[in-house]
Structure 1
Amino acid sequence: METKTKKEKRFSLKMPDTYVLLFGILLVAAIATYLVPAGQFERIEKDGLTMVVPGTYESVESSGVGVMDILLSLQKGMVESGSIIFLVLFIGGLMEVIESTGSIKAAVMKAIDKTRGNEFILIAVITILFALGGAIGAVANSVIAFVSIGLIISKALRLDPIIAVAITFGATFAGFNVGFINPYSVGIAHKIAELPLFSGLLFRVIVFVVIVSITIWYTWRYAKKVLKDPNNSILSSAFLDDEDQDESELHTEFTNKHKGILIFVGLAFAFMVFGTIQYKWTLDHMSAYFLGVAILVGVIGKIHYNQFIVHFMRGAEKLLYGALIVGAARAILVVLEQGQVLDTIVYALSNLFTGLSPIMATMAMFVANTIISIVVPSGSGQAVLIMPIITPLADMLGVTRQVAVQTYLFGDGFTNSIIPTSGTLMASLAIAGIPYTKWFKWMFPLFLIWMVIAVITLIIGVSINWGPY
């Protein structure tokens, strides 16, 4: 029996880490520089954008990359992605400093207390708060820490843990799907696509409202069934027997200091949007700005300067894994560019899509992004990997770059809610004690609704020639 167990362990399949997957793609890219013909397009500057000139592709001398080139590409990828990496790390530091003051938890608990007895209002308010957090990049991977708060809420309402994950993790990624001022997703994609930061804001806000409204309806529809009869729960009524959670946490005091910090942070994020539009801030400006905001939060929260450093570094450390994925993904493009096969890939794709209308080409890009996100679940990593390819492709297919960015956002965002390769999802389910299959059963219909909204949004975007603004 023992021998069989060892044998089963030896042959058990485990999903490779994202870095392992990216390194595998890097090796494939390196091999491709020997097998794929090298070539390049002519490029021109137009309205401040570097654009590929359709019909100018020509073959050039092939130059395959060696072992040292592969290793150097990782270093170069990190350096070239430095602005993005430090932006992610600084945001992580800022959010940890804010969380250390207890302001976010106290605000959520206050919302619970104020809406007690009106379950719909409470579910709607919490869902909107976390959706906004996802849309502005304030909450993403860090939502894992808030699932425990979701469990307290669901317990107080006599609802199952599915609701706990739905109003925290699910709501966060409902907002992340659109991410109208999310520096991790829209910010990075806009930089690569050479679009003004956070442009197309109004249209994305409208889509955000639609998606979040549908998400609230879907969550409440399920909650009502469970409230009516606990046996309607996907997890069965056993959750009612769990008395381990301490509802005394619901009475966390929401002080004037908490209010002041959250008001300041809200105004700070609003000014960030103004700064990117009015002063044309780059990602470097935003990193510096977030550092300044973190320092001021520390001052308002009366955090000792040594403790401030501890909190800021802890927050940066939490996002280090995700931040460096950006550089690892960029290394793949470094290899393809060095081997001069990136334009060949774009040329092949453009030929594949030849004859497709802009709408059908957009759908093809959306499907491609959705598939890629399964193996590259990092939003920022996928942006660095795919945007340099679909940006010139969109130019040649008559699709605006803003629409191309949205195909990436939808392709990445929606899958985060159901794919088992998403570490954030699996960690959230583990905290709530929900089997993946049960979550998939609950989430998949909503995922399909989101996909329909995405298709309609993209068709409208192509029809109105959705541009930079």
Structure 2
Amino acid sequence: MPLQKPEKTKKSTLARFFKIPHVFVLLFIIVLAAVVMTYVIPAGEFDRAEDPETGRVLVQEGTYQTVEADPIGLFEIPGLFITGLNEAADIILFIFVVGGAFQIITATGVFDAVIRKVTALLGNREILIIPIFLTLFSIGGFTIGMTVEGMALVPLAIALARSLGYDAITGLSMVLLGVYSGFIAGLMNPFNVGVAQGIAGLPIYSGMWLRAIVLVVLLVAASIFLIRYAGRVKRDPSKSVVADMEKAHQPDGLLKQSSKFQLHQYFVMLTIVGGLGVLVWGVVEHEWYINDIAALFLAMGVVAGLCAKMGPSRIAEEFVNGAKAFTLGALIVGIARAIPVALENGLIIDTVIHGLASVITNLPGSIQVVGMYTVQTIINFFINSGSGQAAATMPLIVPLGDLLGITRQTGVLAFQLGDGFTNLIFPTGTTLMAYLAAAGVPYEKWLKFIWPLILIWFVIGAAFVIFADIIQYQ
């Protein structure tokens, strides 16, 4: 028996050595890697010009040239984080406001009443809530390009998931995977397909039939993946990726109020439904974005508090408590933004794009379209914006595809799928970090959970671009 002690000590020492560090440390390491890249990768730039029809600034094909290197200096590194926090200020503010507003609404007890009503209606079919949520949120994704807006409903989805015996990651995924299934498929998404097709000279939203099939396949894969995971967690809570977080969760928090609807809760529900209606109207008709939506949720929170007969001081206290709970996540969003700031300031993003485009032309003909898809996936780390990536890459992909015999519609499909899947894993994406902040889920825990689905989705995407190339998708 005594002989086993050194081995145990050795194992515990190794466990401590290989323990995943704090998310701030992980992001700092990635920022340092980006800084090193500014010394290794030659600086270069494409010429850019404004499209007179759309007003977008587009890369000019064939204009790449090397420029004088401008690597990030050692003493410039702290400034990258401050710049990142400044550039992500709108999303950080949005996180604080949504967190505060939803804490006010939570304190009215209306969520508990709604959740218990839904649970009673579903009976033994509670697992159906997963595909229902995924499908509903995908509609916002494939119509108006909704991404960060869905974050506001994450607390409700998590509360519902927990009431059904699942965990926080299940609730988060019901919203996040639904939104991104729709966004990636992009049937009528103005931010990826709309921009890319406009640059490619294609009729807007043409070729929708294949993207509709992509949507269905992505939703089916996500539903099966999440249902299996949720089932394992319900049977054995220790199987949860965030089991430690679930143990610390106090079930008497969100669900402590009476499950019976009271008069003031009907008014709160009316406020929520009316507010969501105004949200849809504002986004569709007036192109509302972060600041407008934050103001709307702030108003919803205050009105809900007044409907519940809360005094001004109580409303303020609940708001502060809600915002305070999102401090770590909000800071993560700003710190993660330092990664693309380093790459942009070092003038290496255009070099990466130029180099990857050159790789595609040297691939065997049968896998050039997969190369195009993979290149878009890699570029998404450097440009984590659908419209921004389209503006930077499609002016190069279109003539390249024409040269290689790849249809422009296939090029758009390769772009939207390559741009989409890794939005759920790359830390350069502020939207992902905002969702994780809303859920209180650590980034490393999310990676452990989501990587198998991303791998499945990536293979599905490769199959679709190959199919599109075979049929000369138009």
TM-score normalised by length of structure 1: 0.66
1:124 maps to 2:128: yes
What are the superposed Cα offsets for residues 195-252 of structure 1, whole Å, 9 maximum, x if unpaired? 9xxx98x99999767655665567778999999xx99xx99xxxxxxxxx99x98982
1:333 maps to 2:330: no
1:413 maps to 2:463: no
- Per the alignment, residue 24 of structure 1 pairs with 29
> Given residue 308 of structure 2, which amino acid in structure 1 is its aligned partner?
G
1:348 maps to 2:355: yes
| Structure-2 change in CA distance of 1:285 and 1:334 (3 Å) | same
What are the superposed Cα offsets for residues 398-451 of structure 1, whole Å, 9 maximum, x if unpaired? 3778974654442233899xxxxx97999889xxxxx99xx97xx998776655
Shift of 1:59: 1.5
Range that drifts further, 128-137 or 310-319: 128-137
- Per the alignment, residue 376 of structure 1 pairs with none
* Partners of 1:330 and 1:385 within 8 A in 2: no
* Partners of 1:131 and 1:173 within 8 A in 2: no
- Per the alignment, residue 157 of structure 1 pairs with none
> Given residue 393 of structure 2, which amino acid in structure 1 is its aligned partner?
L
- Per the alignment, residue 65 of structure 2 pairs with 58
* Partners of 2:137 and 2:178 within 8 A in 1: yes
Range that drifts further, 279-288 or 352-361: 352-361
Match of 1:35 among 37, 40, 44: 40
- Per the alignment, residue 313 of structure 1 pairs with 320
> Given residue 118 of structure 2, which amino acid in structure 1 is its aligned partner?
A
CA–CA distance in 1 between the matches of 2:270 and 2:164?
A: 24
CA–CA distance in 2 between the matches of 1:13 and 1:344?
A: 34
- Per the alignment, residue 323 of structure 1 pairs with 330
* Partners of 1:147 and 1:168 within 8 A in 2: yes
1:269 maps to 2:276: yes
> Given residue 175 of structure 1, which amino acid in structure 2 is its aligned partner?
G
CA–CA distance in 2 between the matches of 1:68 and 1:389?
A: 30
- Per the alignment, residue 432 of structure 2 pairs with none
Shift of 1:5: 2.6
Shift of 1:110: 0.8
* Partners of 1:329 and 1:384 within 8 A in 2: no
CA–CA distance in 2 between the matches of 1:304 and 1:206?
A: 51
1:364 maps to 2:367: no
Range that drifts further, 354-363 or 287-296: 354-363
- Per the alignment, residue 18 of structure 2 pairs with 13
| Structure-2 change in CA distance of 1:270 and 1:410 (3 Å) | farther
| Structure-2 change in CA distance of 1:104 and 1:67 (3 Å) | same
Shift of 1:283: 2.5
| Structure-2 change in CA distance of 1:40 and 1:445 (3 Å) | closer
Match of 1:99 among 96, 102, 106: 106
| Structure-2 change in CA distance of 1:252 and 1:459 (3 Å) | farther
Shift of 1:384: 4.9
> Given residue 421 of structure 2, which amino acid in structure 1 is its aligned partner?
F
Aligned positions of 1:134-145 closer than 5 A: none
> Given residue 412 of structure 1, which amino acid in structure 2 is its aligned partner?
N
Match of 2:79 among 72, 77, 84: 72
Structure 2 residue runs of 5 or longer lacking an equivalent are 199-203, 241-250, 399-407, 428-434
Aligned positions of 1:58-207 closer than 5 A: 58-116=65-123, 119-120=124-125, 122-125=126-129, 128-129=132-133, 132=136, 150=161, 152-154=163-165, 168-178=171-181
* Partners of 1:131 and 1:175 within 8 A in 2: yes
| Structure-2 change in CA distance of 1:259 and 1:322 (3 Å) | same
CA–CA distance in 2 between the matches of 1:4 and 1:213?
A: 44
Shift of 1:50: 1.3
User: Per the alignment, in what secondary structure is the counterpart of residue 297 of structure 2?
Assistant: helix
> Given residue 180 of structure 2, which amino acid in structure 1 is its aligned partner?
N
| Structure-2 change in CA distance of 1:57 and 1:403 (3 Å) | same
User: Per the alignment, in what secondary structure is the counterpart of residue 181 of structure 2?
Assistant: coil
CA–CA distance in 2 between the matches of 1:30 and 1:151?
A: 42
User: Per the alignment, in what secondary structure is the counterpart of residue 51 of structure 1?
Assistant: strand
| Structure-2 change in CA distance of 1:389 and 1:208 (3 Å) | closer
* Partners of 1:92 and 1:315 within 8 A in 2: yes
| Structure-2 change in CA distance of 1:36 and 1:145 (3 Å) | same
> Given residue 397 of structure 2, which amino acid in structure 1 is its aligned partner?
L
* Partners of 1:130 and 1:139 within 8 A in 2: no
CA–CA distance in 2 between the matches of 1:464 and 1:280?
A: 35
* Partners of 2:35 and 2:71 within 8 A in 1: yes
- Per the alignment, residue 396 of structure 1 pairs with 396
Shift of 1:325: 2.4
- Per the alignment, residue 264 of structure 2 pairs with 257
CA–CA distance in 1 between the matches of 2:325 and 2:190?
A: 20
Shift of 1:42: 0.7
What are the superposed Cα offsets for residues 287-317 of structure 1, whole Å, 9 maximum, x if unpaired? 2232222222222333322222222222223
Shift of 1:266: 3.0
| Structure-2 change in CA distance of 1:106 and 1:74 (3 Å) | same
Aligned positions of 1:384-463 closer than 5 A: 384=384, 392-398=392-398, 404=415, 407-413=418-424, 450=457, 454=461
Range that drifts further, 83-92 or 38-47: 83-92
| Structure-2 change in CA distance of 1:16 and 1:221 (3 Å) | closer
CA–CA distance in 1 between the matches of 2:291 and 2:468?
A: 30
CA–CA distance in 2 between the matches of 1:425 and 1:295?
A: 19
What are the superposed Cα offsets for residues 358-402 of structure 1, whole Å, 9 maximum, x if unpaired? 8535531565489x6xxxxxxxxx975898667513442137789
* Partners of 2:153 and 2:175 within 8 A in 1: no
* Partners of 1:188 and 1:384 within 8 A in 2: no
> Given residue 314 of structure 1, which amino acid in structure 2 is its aligned partner?
N
* Partners of 2:99 and 2:325 within 8 A in 1: yes
User: Per the alignment, in what secondary structure is the counterpart of residue 177 of structure 1?
Assistant: helix
* Partners of 1:112 and 1:250 within 8 A in 2: no
